[in-house]
Structure 1
């Protein structure tokens, strides 16, 4: 297995393991990338991802894994002052939304996973989406050379 594929599998498994441990899809993706990329993001800051599970608090809207991925992109390209250009993060978030929807056919949680919340089928589907989202995000980050991955 080449180095890039090995990294993709690693981050995919990391996100999947967090999901299996009980973190929601958004938390799992954000935590996996914080750990994988060694980002200076505290557990306290990661609490922001908690409400995005189940498509924003079980409302079934935008998939939590996609929300978590957008948070990761924000960690890498977000602004720290209003004077900074928001163009790069808007472009990346839009690009990744397109990649996600092309891969899964939708961005809406209730469309992606029609199983009743809390069932084994729902958890299995979300696990697959969460892991694949992490893999797709790493590919995107590498393609755009946002960080040097060692």
Structure 2
């Protein structure tokens, strides 16, 4: 496991959501964490994209998007590769599909704990995204 993966998982264990953990570990910019907050838990429990994946897209955009210090014309290609790689590896990009239940279920917290989702699912998604970002962001420096 890379140092960045360890840092992201530490943030995740400390209570940052999956998107916040990815963004903070990769950009090292605490202000960027606020940008990521609504993207965790499948876009704030709306059955959306996995928060770790959303955090990865945000990290790429913050680091390589328009106006960033290391702006890249390849940003769209890199985002597409990140999303497609995640889809291929895990079979879906949707949080609810990945977890096997909806975070809007009234017993979602109990299901999350009972299924060990933090350890057996979400941590894997965070580690995967960080590994991919390590390759995509290697030539640049964090914000």
Is contact 1:96–1:140 with CA below 8 Å preserved after alignment? Answer: no
**Residue of structure 2 aligned with 1:69, choices 56, 71, 87:** 56
Deviations 1:29-49 (CA, angstroms, capped at 9, x unpaired): 0011123xxxxx3x2332010
Residue 3 of structure 1 corresponds to none
Q: Give 1:107 deviation, angstroms.
A: 0.8
CA gap 1:126/1:74 in 2 versus in 1, 3 angstroms: same
Distance across 2 between alignment mates of 1:13 and 1:66 = 17
How far off its partner does 1:87 sit? Answer: 4.5
Deviation at 1:86, TM superposition (A): 7.8
Unpaired segments of 5 or more residues in structure 2?
none
1:133: how far off? 1.7
Structure 1: distance between partners of 2:67 and 2:140: 18
Structure 2 CA distance for aligned equivalents of residues 140 and 88 of structure 1: 10
**Alignment check: 8 A CA contact 2:27 2:63 kept:** no
Listed as ranges, the matches of 1:1-150 within 5 Å are 9-35=2-28, 41=29, 43-80=30-67, 87-115=73-101, 117-118=108-109, 119-120=112-113, 121-124=116-119, 125-142=121-138, 146-147=139-140
Provide closer, same or farther for how the CA distance between residues 122 and 34 of structure 1 changes in structure 2, counting only shifts above 3 A: same
Cα offset for 1:88? 2.2
Q: Matched residue of 1:57: which SS? A: helix
**Number of equivalenced pairs:** 130
Mapped to 2, the partners of 1:13 and 1:45 lie a distance apart of 19
Mapped partners of 2:131, 2:37: distance in 1? 21
Secondary structure of the structure 1 residue equivalent to 2:45? coil
